[in-house]
Amino acid sequence: MGEKKSGFEFLWISFSIAAVWFSTHCGGGFATGNQEVNFYVKFGWTTMYLPVIAMIFVAWTYRNALVLAKDHNVHDYRSFANVLYHPYEKVFAPIFELCFMANILIAVSTSIAGAGALLQNVLGVPYLLGITCLGVILTCLTIFGAELIIRVLRYKAYFLIVTLVILAFLGLQAGFANSERFIANKETFGNDSMTAVKMMLLYIGFQCFGLVPAISVSHRITTTKECNMFGLFGIFLNGGFLTIISIMLLGFAPAILKETLPVYYVTAHLGIPWLKILYSAILFIALIGTAISFIFSAVARFEKLWKGEGMFESLRLRRSIIAILTATICTGASVFGLTALVVKGYGSMGYVGMLFVVLPLLTVGTLKIRKNAQRRKEQGIAEV
């Protein structure tokens, strides 16, 4: 067994992986505010508690995933799926992979649509022209600018978080009276509570696919306690941030319910020009960065399946073709617009994620975790 970890190391490992989850969560739909509006804010006063409940269940799902990854030493999504679905992995593991690839396509399409809508709002660029240009830019950056983009991705989440914190603070102040009235009067904008709960469950379902990046960086976790602490940090970061941004947006309802870029709408109404410019610039970089990171994921997966021959012997050429195809398909899908992709795309993935990921991890996953813990106890194996 290895050396026992110090208290600081124990906390740092748990927090750093929770930060990876938060960075994944803080993608195009979240950063624009479109997800918050369509899954929570449009249901009125329930915005004050449903986001936290959702993140508790997502954290529980992620926690179980990390424990299974630790117990079986699996840190890539296909190996993890084999463990989760055993002894039926030949049937369900390919389904999990298809779902993950579909999630990549929706994430890239959403980022392109968000960036296109941002260009339209800020610079007046026609939406179709904007997303076409973005598709070309993404392809070029993916093929020729990998190193630059990887460096940018290391820092984009931090700048976006700081900007959103400033926006949340100012936005909550500006809309406090309005959001307080909605909550005090339990106003729902005509939507019933059961529909609100249904949308929360769909949010849980599609968010569960974000566990793949967390699993891929979980090598240093060696104890179940670290997984538990990861879950607590994750609830604090994701649940807290999601709730605060949602309540801020509620303060600008009902006008904000029709906006494609709700957070941008808030920046425009705060009347602080530098904050509006800062948010627009950082959001654009974040959207491009998110799209490229997911395109890289698609390239990394399919390049293993494509054994090139003849003119396709060049690995660089195969990677370029995969990147071009992915960017082209996602640019085509972004024609439907950000709101349609968030509501229909992520909504559909929510059903799939709930059925094939959340429920298996909370039921079968829990049983496997207990069985592994009992086996370690009987064999006298201690975690360090």
Digit-by-digit pLDDT tens for the chain (384 residues) are 445 666 777 788 888 888 878 877 877 788 889 999 999 999 989 999 999 999 999 999 999 999 999 988 888 778 888 999 989 888 888 888 888 888 888 888 888 888 899 899 888 999 999 889 888 888 877 776 555 655 655 666 677 778 888 988 999 999 888 888 888 888 888 777 889 999 999 999 999 888 887 887 788 888 889 999 999 999 998 899 899 999 999 999 889 998 999 999 999 888 889 988 888 888 887 788 778 777 877 777 777 677 766 666 776 777 788 888 888 898 888 888 888 888 888 888 999 999 999 999 999 999 999 998 888 787 777 665
What's the pLDDT at 150? 54
Alpha carbons 224 and 237: distance in angstroms, whole number: 20
What's the pLDDT at 210? 81
Domains, the chain, ordered by start:
14-367 (1.20.1740.10)
Per-residue buried b or exposed e for 80-112, using 16+ beta carbons within 10 Å of the residue's own CB: bbbbbbeeebeebbeebeebbeebbbbbbbbbb
Q: Number of helices (H) and strands (E), helices first, in the chain?
A: 19, 0
Alpha carbons 249 and 252: distance in angstroms, whole number: 5
What's the pLDDT at 354? 94
What's the pLDDT at 370? 92
What's the pLDDT at 155? 67
Burial of 8 (0-12, 13-18, 19+ CB in 10 A): exposed
* Sequence-separated (6 or more) residues with CB below 8 Å from residue 265: 33, 252, 255, 256, 259
Alpha carbons 202 and 331: distance in angstroms, whole number: 25
Q: Cis bond leading into 273, ω under 30°?
A: no
CA distances from 55 to 131, 176, 321 (A): 32, 24, 37
CA distances from 382 to 40, 134, 357, 374, 377 (A): 43, 52, 29, 11, 8
Torsion, CA 137, CA 139, CA 144, CA 148, rounded to 10? 60
Alpha carbons 151 and 278: distance in angstroms, whole number: 20
What's the pLDDT at 197? 93
What is the number of other CB atoms lying within 10 angstroms of the CB of residue 195? Answer: 13
Cα angle 29, 34, 35 (rounded to 5 degrees) comes to: 65
Alpha carbons 115 and 109: distance in angstroms, whole number: 10
